[in-house]
Structure 1
Amino acid sequence: MPKPKPPVGHLPQVCTAEPAGIARAAEVILAGGTVAVPTETVYGLAARADDDAAVAGIYRAKGRPDFNPLIVHVPDLATAQELAMFDPPALALAEAFWPGPLTLVLPRRVGARLAAAVSAGLPTVALRCPAHPTMQAMLQAAALPLAAPSANRSGGVSPTTAAHVVGSLGERVDLVIDGGETARGIESTIVAVRPDGGWQVLRPGPITQAEVAAVIGEANVLAAPVDRIEAPGQLSSHYAPGKPVRLDADGAMPDEFHIGFGAIKGDVSLSASGDLAEAAARLYACLHAGAAAEQPRIAVAPIPQTGIGVAINDRLGRAAA
């Protein structure tokens, strides 16, 4: 069946997260197309993970470098175990945090039905079981694991609404499912579990390193590698709004759009009450607002380096790189 394509110069079709929209999206996925779908973190650009051409469509739509691996979304632990090797620590993490915003980087099983491109030539695969009902419905309808990085141009600000997806990708995506604004607003935590029993956080996210350590122990934690890309979000420059970004800004210069936090008001605020969970949920919406503002520069108030603030500062640091 040929892959459905919108007319050149037209925006993609947008469907609601109702059964008819899910069914239409599954048709596009099975035909090798791409569908933007909400998760509890950000919107993902999904394609069937077992087809080289379909996965190539993700890289092409995003303008993503082919050395940057993709996260494969699965409906449950049993499906994940068909694709990767789970040792006791990995199994404990999956049982503790799935479905939810945790991605595990694990040794890929020999013969796993996955396109080679999802791992970018590495012997590992990044797996996540999402909690969002729309993404779960997509996984059930397609009956396939889905590769799904964030649904935006590579290196840009991640999307937390369907409008962000359309504004970033336009006709590059075949279909968008509008499931409203995402709840977490920041990408999943990525943890690599090594064959020697060690583990490391490759990308901070909603689940903190302390929460991971509470399940599998602090003794074997390793420093994240800095000389190779093993997972999404490790590029030094990422999540960029297309303007210079100044961090730890108590105030703004006349040419700056100011993103506030807590007592620092700003033009918009990540959280007026200083709530880090709210700040994470609003981070990309505020960066999108800054990108659309008339000021040529963006300034961001200081964010505490505690809890999920570690993940917020990670994204801001890469946005400013």
Structure 2
Amino acid sequence: MAEIVTTETGLDRALAVLKSGEVVAIPTETVYGLAGDATNGDAVLRIFEAKGRPRFNPLIAHVGSIEMATGIALFDPLSLKLTEKFWPGPLTLVLPARQPSTIHPLVTAGLDTIAIRMPQGFGRKLIDAFGRPLAAPSANSSGRISATSADAVAADLGARIPLIVDGGATQVGVESTIVKVEGGEVHLLRPGGISAAEIEQATGRKVLRRQGGAVQAPGMLASHYAPHAGVRINADEVRPGEALLAFGAERAKGSELAVAVLNLSETGDMREAARNLFEHLQRLDRSGAAAIAVERVPTDGLGEAINDRLTRAAAPRDFPQNRT
């Protein structure tokens, strides 16, 4: 099983693991990430192997400074404006990759673009000490629920990785927002911890949504973030054998018969709901319910990211629903 260390004591241990070409699970403000040296093909391959992640699905390169970012990507003025407002923080930018690149091609999945984010807290401190970008997708088996605590990482990946850095529960609870600037327009590739409204306010431009198309960034697969149990969204009633993921003060019909009930936010607070989303899904999944009914969650603000994750969790699965 993985060794677990704290953020207060684990920096040197994490650096040693990264320098050896291995991977380490680290806390960020969004979710826990499975980090490896983005310039080392063996390390990046270990990320894919530990997660069971398809290699056509690109990774985010995490940086510690704008200088590190501009060394691996070409920034337009609007993208730079977004970094000034939201970095460090839960915003990922998809940009043209600088050539020749020091980033291993596995990170970009062969694309001519690269996804970049500057995390807060321990993640940024680790990158600064390491001196190179870290590839760091969410620290969970591919397609499954993202981890928002060290315990969740250990339960899923503990037998496959050497080290987990415990920074407590994550602050945001959902992954970063991913945007791409093209032709002076801001395209939303994945909703996340920063709302489209916040981006529109910062840029003075309408955020455009993309429907379908090729995978350009992480989190764009139709089936993702899924528990073992089935998920049924926008439920107005609870069916026999189901658990209930509730939201707000009003309950779905039959909620008293649910196998288990957890509320994302009794007061309807979207930030609280985002923080609770993955942890509540994991707890309901462990209840033994055949399926999880999810009450309707508004789509405004962070609700867009929450509904995106729930929709992908409810999508038809291309992996087995076993509990082993």
TM > 0.5 fold call:
yes
Aligned counterpart for 2:292 among listed residues 260, 283, 298: 298
Cα distance in 1 for partners of 2:250, 2:12 equals: 46
Picking from 4, 26, 29, the partner of 1:14 is 4
Q: Does 1:207 align with 2:194?
A: yes
- The equivalent residue for 2:172 is 184
SS at match of 2:158: helix
Greater CA drift, 94-103 or 264-273: 264-273
Shift, 1:197, TM fit: 2.1
Taking structure 2 as the reference length, the TM-score comes to 0.92
Q: Deviations over 1:88-127 (max 9, x none)?
A: 0010001110010000000000022111111000000000
What 5-or-longer segments of structure 1 have no aligned partner? 1-10
**Are 1:142 and 2:136 counterparts?**
no
Gaps of 5+ in 2: 256-260, 316-324
Shift of 1:296: 1.2
Q: % of aligned pairs identical?
A: 48
- What secondary structure sits across from 1:86 in the alignment? coil
1:218 to 190, 197, 205: 205
- Matched AA of 2:281: L
In 1: Cα distance, 2:204 partner to 2:74 partner: 20
Q: Helix, strand or coil for the counterpart of 1:299?
A: strand
Residue identity matched to 1:189: T
Among 56, 79, 96, the residue aligned to 2:85: 96
In the aligned structure 1, how far is the partner of 2:180 from the partner of 2:161? 30
Q: Which residue of 1 aligns with 2:144?
A: 156
User: Aligned match of 2:31 in 25, 33, 42?
Assistant: 42
Give matches, 1:254-273, under 5 Å: 254-264=240-250, 267-273=261-267
* Root mean square deviation of aligned Cα: 1.2
Residue 55 of structure 1 aligns with which residue?
44
SS across alignment from 2:164:
strand
How far does residue 225 in structure 1 lie from its aligned partner after superposition?
5.0
Contact preservation (8 Å) 1:250, 1:264: no
Q: Which residue matches 1:8?
A: none
* SS of residue paired to 1:229: coil
> What is the DSSP-based 3-state SS (H/G/I as helix, E as strand, rest coil) of the residue aligned with 1:65?
coil
Counterpart residue type for residue 275 of structure 2? A
2:185 and 2:205 in contact (8 A); partners too: no
CA contact (8 A) 2:90 2:177 kept: yes
Distance 2:34 2:287 in 1: 26
Cα distance per residue 1:207-253 (max 9 Å; x no partner): 1112212222325x444251200111100000000111111123322
Match of 2:282 in 1: 288
Which runs of at least 4 in structure 1 moved beyond 3 Å after TM superposition? none
TM-score by length of 1: 0.93
CA deviations on 1:15-49 (whole Å, 9 max, x unpaired) are 1111x411001000011000000000000000000
How do 1:117-128 and structure 2 match up within 5 A?
117-128=106-117
Are the equivalent residues in 2 in contact too, given 1:251–1:258 (CA < 8 A)?
Answer: no
CA contact (8 A) 1:48 1:146 kept: yes
Residue 313 of structure 2 aligns to a residue in which SS? helix
Aligned length: 307
